[in-house]
């Protein structure tokens, strides 16, 4: 199936807001085996939106459109859809009722401007929005099935899951066939190595296909199956999943597509264990990624972003002698930072990062991409030193953070020890 | 001038990477008065890229295209441009020399695969890339001026500045007229209020036009002027800038487009003063924004992301009684957090945030959007409490962080005091 994505709104068109919806939707669709051929973004202009909808209708089987469903005068997507389809707008009682219910549940009366949000193209099917006032809708223009969702990511994402992706992620039938998708997330091997390890794992004309996706710094393995009988397909899929997990071993993060911070958070919550972090070069990124995990307040106690040596000393108890003798980017410093964070927060585990993310600050001895990581546990503390080949600050920060998280993940899995034995 | 943006690459098409280039380019072009009508993204497919280039050539005056200039087989943008223009590819000696120079400067020999990067459409003008191996190029297809840049943001951004935006941001001549642009960044007033205050500030048919851009949570005022003589225009612009600054007063962050974290960092560096931060609900965002400011290691000492009450007590010295009596989201707690961060880091100033970013966790007394902010200074500590009307976690975090930064900015400017007198 060939799909397209359209984002509407002047705030995206003018670059005031980065369009994260397009990538989110593309990733969701690609993961379930739908090919996304093109993304387009236009502003709040009625003619522009209608023109792009007509273009898409002539090219693709499916489209997801976001934005322009709000109550104000510059929200014109429903009108544009009606124009592109050559139908009139009509007030949808189901939509009106949802909007009224939304306000009622919050003890408010619906304002008359919100009534506009119940206007949809004739023949459209209303899609419920439980997190906002703008219902979505579904309709066919030409031969293209189009799904219209609000642009606010917090509202769009659950609607996409409920109204679009859920229909695909469970084993499902379409065109008389059963379709199954499994995503295995990995960290720690380059794409080319993962590819080599899985080469020839599926016979060329069999029912299963394996693809790789780079979600830096993770590599996700997507297995897509298509067949006539669900039982047969599911058994083949289970077997292939086992082989993949065996070949990739401890590099496998999850077999349900979850990414590293969420996997680590889940492991900590299962164990009722807590984590503290001492960050230098990652500058708050580890804190950000941990606090983005649902339920993070259950395991995440502290991140001390200690940019300055004085803060490393005062907050984490790093000794001035260590900093003087070895410098801030050293395993000895990472060791004391991790132990200091663990002690200071009273956490079960602590991670520290200190490195040179770039683009400047590298030396011959400690080039850009160097990071020292500390892992403090009740059993003891271990440190690691890596030099990654990137000159890019953002890439390095993400890689440093993931590498630190993965050290603790592997320790909790039992594939990494802190005392005596090595990996 | 009507422009479009095209991003190419399978990693963007499939959503593995969020396309930040499109917003960056759109913002740069809009800021200098070029209207961006549409963004498009397609994958590494030769036919797709060529087709979109032809569409753009038929619609717009100008386009910026990113991606697909690398050395590998799936980098096909130059070939697609040649096809769309109906010309052949040829090896450009200037480009080849730049690539060789890039490798030579790093003590490496150019590999034969990189030679491909010197192949460009006949008649194209080579644009230098000082940060990578892929030179860009410029050419006209139909009546559309197209600029082709690499997709790596670290390489693309300086090239956009040098080859595209610089030609516009300095007062410049085109079509026989002089063009001047000034951007005044503001924080603390809603868009509608800024709009009201600047209403009727320019006569309808005069040489200067004023526009607003929302870069949440900031509002940027863009003044664009066009005239025959630079001296006259510059004098009119200076006068208007003064009037705008007078009307918006302490809400003005900068008259050169710099945003709040950078403005605050600059003020601290000027004073050789240092800052520590205690974050709860902002979860590392303040640390992230501060460490993104060039030269931040000169003023930024510490952020303690203290999610847990235990960490607030152990790391910041917040008293358990305060937390017990008032809770984590309270001015009393914010007060002790800020003082603790300042003391612990030995910083001149400290800011703290504790609040409810949502979407969950709100109560009738402390709804989602509530934040308490502490500002600790050598003169004393002051706290603030706000309730913002957003239910969105990301918006609230950004607003909480900016509000805290702005408290310190205003204190340093003298428009806010910590002792006795109020604003």
Chain B contact present for A74, CB below 8 A? no
Average pLDDT over residues A135-146: 94
Residue that wins the pLDDT comparison between A297 and A382: A382
Q: What is the ipTM of this complex?
A: 0.73
**Do β-strands A35-42 and A2-8 pair in parallel, antiparallel, or remain unpaired?**
parallel
The beta-carbon neighbor of B17 closest among A23, A25, A290 is A23
Name the strand (E) or helix (H) holding A209. Answer: strand A208-215
Query: Are A311 and B301 within 8 A, CB to CB?
Result: yes
Residues in chain A within 8 Å Cβ distance of B340: none
**Interchain CB distance below 8 Å, B15 and A25:** yes
**Interchain CB distance below 8 Å, A22 and B15:** yes
Question: In which residue are the tokens 């300042």 written?
Answer: B342
The beta-carbon neighbor of B36 closest among A13, A40, A301 is A13
Could you tell me the two tokens for A127?
A: 């899609």
pLDDT number for residue B192: 86
Residues in chain A within 8 Å Cβ distance of B52: 38
The Cβ of residue B305 has, within 10 Å, a number of other Cβ atoms equal to 31
Which positions ≥6 away from B375 have C-beta within 8 Å? B338, B349, B350, B351, B381, B382, B383, B384, B404, B407, B408, B411, B418
**Do β-strands B300-306 and B275-279 pair in parallel, antiparallel, or remain unpaired?**
parallel
CA A186 to CA B69: how far, in whole Å?
29
pLDDT tops 60 at residue B361? yes
pLDDT tops 60 at residue A398? yes
Choose the mutation target among A302, A306, A389 for the interface with B, i.e. most B CBs under 10 Å: A302
pLDDT tops 80 at residue A273? yes
Which among A61, A8, A67 has a CA at the least distance from the CA of A34? A61
Q: Give the pLDDT band of residue B288 (cuts 50, 70, 90).
A: very high
Average pLDDT over residues B286-312: 92
Residue that wins the pLDDT comparison between A182 and A169: A182
Chain A contact present for B72, CB below 8 A? no
Residue that wins the pLDDT comparison between B332 and A154: B332
Average pLDDT over residues B220-238: 87
pLDDT (tens digit per residue) in A219-264: 989 888 888 888 888 899 999 999 999 999 999 999 988 899 999 9
Average pLDDT over residues A378-406: 93
Residues in chain B within 8 Å Cβ distance of A30: 14-15
CA dihedral B187, B192, B197, B201 (to 10 degrees): 110
pLDDT tops 80 at residue B365? yes
pLDDT tops 80 at residue B176? no
pLDDT number for residue A362: 86
Cis peptide before B217 (omega within 30 of 0): yes
Q: Which DSSP string do the residues of A18-41 spell out, in sequence order?
A: --HHHHHHHHHHHHTTPEEEEEEE
**Interchain CB distance below 8 Å, A24 and B14:** no
What is the reported pTM?
A: 0.77
The beta-carbon neighbor of A315 closest among B18, B302, B359 is B302
Residues in chain A within 8 Å Cβ distance of B20: 18
The beta-carbon neighbor of B284 closest among A27, A291, A311 is A291
Q: Which DSSP string do the residues of B126-193 spell out, in sequence order?
A: EE--SSSS--EEEEEETTEEEEEE-S-HHHHHHHHIIIIIHHHHSSEEETTEEEEEEEEEEESS-HHH
**Interchain CB distance below 8 Å, A154 and B393:** yes
Distances (CA, A) of A344 to A37, A213, B277: 51, 39, 17
pLDDT number for residue A422: 46
CA A25 to CA B40: how far, in whole Å?
15
Task: Please provide residue A142's backbone torsions phi and psi, each rounded to the nearest 5 degrees.
Answer: 60, -130
Distances (CA, A) of B223 to A11, A268, B166, B180, B198: 19, 53, 17, 8, 11
Query: Are A325 and A253 within 8 A, CB to CB?
Result: no
pLDDT number for residue B423: 44
**Do β-strands A349-355 and A370-377 pair in parallel, antiparallel, or remain unpaired?**
antiparallel
**Interchain CB distance below 8 Å, A22 and B41:** yes
**Interchain CB distance below 8 Å, A344 and B15:** no
Name the average pLDDT for chain B: 91
Chain A contact present for B44, CB below 8 A? no
CA A275 to CA A49: how far, in whole Å?
48
Could you tell me the two tokens for B188?
A: 């603390």
The beta-carbon neighbor of A15 closest among B27, B277, B290 is B27
Choose the mutation target among A2, A103, A130, A311 for the interface with B, i.e. most B CBs under 10 Å: A311
**Interchain CB distance below 8 Å, B303 and A304:** yes
Nearest CA in chain B to A18: B23
Residues in chain B within 8 Å Cβ distance of A277: 305
- For residue A422, the distance in angstroms to the closest alpha carbon of chain B comes to 32
pLDDT (tens digit per residue) in B102-138: 888 877 888 888 899 999 999 999 999 988 889 999 9
pLDDT tops 70 at residue A168? no
**Interchain CB distance below 8 Å, B285 and A285:** no
pLDDT number for residue B169: 55
Q: Looking at A371-375, B232-236, B417-421, which range is the least confident one? A: B417-421
Residues in chain A within 8 Å Cβ distance of B279: 287
Chain A contact present for B301, CB below 8 A? yes
Choose the mutation target among A15, A279, A327 for the interface with B, i.e. most B CBs under 10 Å: A15
Average pLDDT over residues A315-344: 96
pLDDT number for residue B106: 79
pLDDT (tens digit per residue) in A30-59: 877 788 999 999 999 999 999 999 999 999
Residue that wins the pLDDT comparison between B107 and B379: B379
pLDDT (tens digit per residue) in A124-136: 999 999 888 899 9
Nearest CA in chain A to B295: A360
pLDDT (tens digit per residue) in B403-422: 999 999 999 999 999 976 54
Q: Looking at A65-69, A146-150, A202-206, B354-358, which range is the least confident one? A: A202-206
Choose the mutation target among A67, A284, A329 for the interface with B, i.e. most B CBs under 10 Å: A284
Domains and CATH numbers, chain A: 2-169 (3.40.980.10), 175-254 (3.30.70.2860), 260-413 (3.90.950.20)
pLDDT tops 50 at residue A314? yes
C-alpha gyration radius of chain A: 25
Could you tell me the two tokens for A37?
A: 């051929």
**Interchain CB distance below 8 Å, A283 and B287:** yes
How many A-B residue pairs are in contact by the CB < 8 A criterion? 227
CA B23 to CA B2: how far, in whole Å?
16
């Amino acid at each position: 199936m060939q799909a397209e994505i359209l984002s509407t709104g002047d705030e995206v068109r003018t670059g005031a807001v980065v369009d994260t919806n397009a990538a989110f939707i593309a990733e969701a669709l690609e993961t379930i085996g739908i090919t996304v051929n093109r993304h387009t973004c236009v502003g709040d202009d009625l003619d522009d939106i209608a023109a792009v909808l007509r273009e898409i209708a002539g090219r693709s089987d499916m489209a997801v459109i976001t934005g322009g469903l709000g109550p104000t005068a510059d929200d014109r997507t429903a009108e544009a859809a009606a124009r592109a389809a050559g139908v009139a707008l009509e007030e949808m009682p189901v939509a009106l009722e949802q909007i009224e219910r939304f306000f009622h549940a919050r003890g408010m009366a619906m304002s008359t401007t919100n009534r506009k949000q119940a206007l949809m193209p004739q023949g459209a099917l209303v899609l419920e929005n439980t997190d906002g006032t703008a219902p979505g809708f579904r309709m066919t223009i030409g031969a293209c099935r189009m799904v219209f969702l609000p642009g606010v990511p917090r509202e769009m994402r659950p609607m996409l899951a409920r109204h679009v992706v859920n229909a695909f992620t469970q084993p499902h039938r379409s065109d008389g066939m059963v379709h199954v998708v499994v995503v295995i997330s990995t960290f720690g091997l380059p794409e080319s190595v993962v590819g080599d390890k899985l080469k020839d794992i599926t016979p060329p004309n069999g029912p299963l296909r394996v693809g790789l996706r780079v979600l830096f710094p993770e590599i996700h393995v997507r297995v897509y199956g298509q067949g006539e009988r669900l039982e047969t397909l599911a058994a083949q899929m289970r077997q292939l999943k086992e082989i993949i997990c065996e070949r990739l071993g401890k590099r496998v993060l999850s077999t349900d597509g979850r990414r590293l911070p969420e996997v680590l958070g889940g492991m900590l919550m299962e164990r009722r264990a807590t984590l503290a972090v001492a960050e230098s070069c990652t500058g708050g990124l580890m804190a950000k990624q941990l606090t983005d995990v649902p339920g993070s307040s259950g395991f995440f106690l502290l991140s001390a972003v200690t940019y300055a040596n004085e803060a490393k000393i005062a907050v984490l108890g790093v000794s001035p002698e260590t900093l003087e003798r070895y410098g801030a980017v050293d395993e000895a410093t990472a060791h004391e930072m991790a132990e200091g964070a663990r002690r200071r927060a009273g956490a079960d585990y602590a991670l520290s990062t200190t490195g040179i993310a770039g683009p400047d600050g590298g030396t011959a001895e400690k080039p850009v991409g160097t990071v020292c990581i500390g892992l403090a546990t009740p059993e003891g503390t271990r440190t690691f030193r890596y030099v990654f080949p990137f000159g890019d600050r953002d890439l390095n920060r993400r890689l440093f953070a993931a590498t630190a998280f993965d050290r603790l993940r592997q320790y909790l899995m039992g594939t990494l020890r802190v005392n005596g034995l090595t990996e």
